[in-house]
A = this chain, B = another copy of it.
């Protein structure tokens, strides 16, 4: 989808959409837009090894008609503990058991907290996050019980909540397979060639083809029976 094909600007209820630049969050944005939500896209720069995904997020936000796209910076590299934030830890290139080293401590809690703050200022009721429990890496903060717990917290944590706002954490992909996610996105005109999922993409956004994120993405396109537009290096 090019910018000129973007949906007309929504005037519906506002939503803050967490947008990483990857496949899942692009689809979540498209689904939110298809419901007429006026979407404010939020990308969080948390010390990722590469910034290609932030560039991808900007392209996706424009193509899918987000009203605004903001990048907020948080220095999670100072915490470490993850192959995605600590340059001394290698990204695994073969299957592992358990929760992998690419897990970033408290990442989705932090990103939803930032989304909640912006939502409160915007008067947005919905926080949209593209988490997915089936074809995922087993991260704890991608599970339905996490989403429910954050939603419960949101009402208690905010002035808006005290004043009656019923925040909703909308996770439309949570029970979908990767193939279902891809088919849903394609039906809404998402150009997955704009997205970057790879944990170690190069500066041009080209994927390694070997990490967990690349594997899940490639298997998803194969299972959906559609061409994989990913640029591999």
Name A residues whose Cβ lies closer than 8 Å to a Cβ of B.
70, 72-76, 78-81, 99, 103-110, 113-114, 116-118, 120-121, 139-141, 143, 145-146, 149-150, 152-154, 156-159, 161-162
Contacts and interface: CB of A to CB of B under 8 A. Distances in A.
Please tell me how many copies of the chain the complex holds: 2
Contacts of A99: 159, 162
Contact of A153 (B74, B79, B146): B146
A146 B116 CA distance: 14
B157 A140 contact: yes
5 contacts: A73-B74, A79-B114, A109-B153, A140-B157, A149-B152
A149 B154 CA distance: 9
Contact of A113 (B70, B110, B118): B110
A81 B149 CA distance: 25
Given A99-B159, A149-B156, A117 B106 contact: yes
A153 B110 CA distance: 12
Nearest to A74: B74
Given A79-B121, A162-B140, A153 B153 contact: yes
Nearest to A143: B156
B121 A117 contact: no
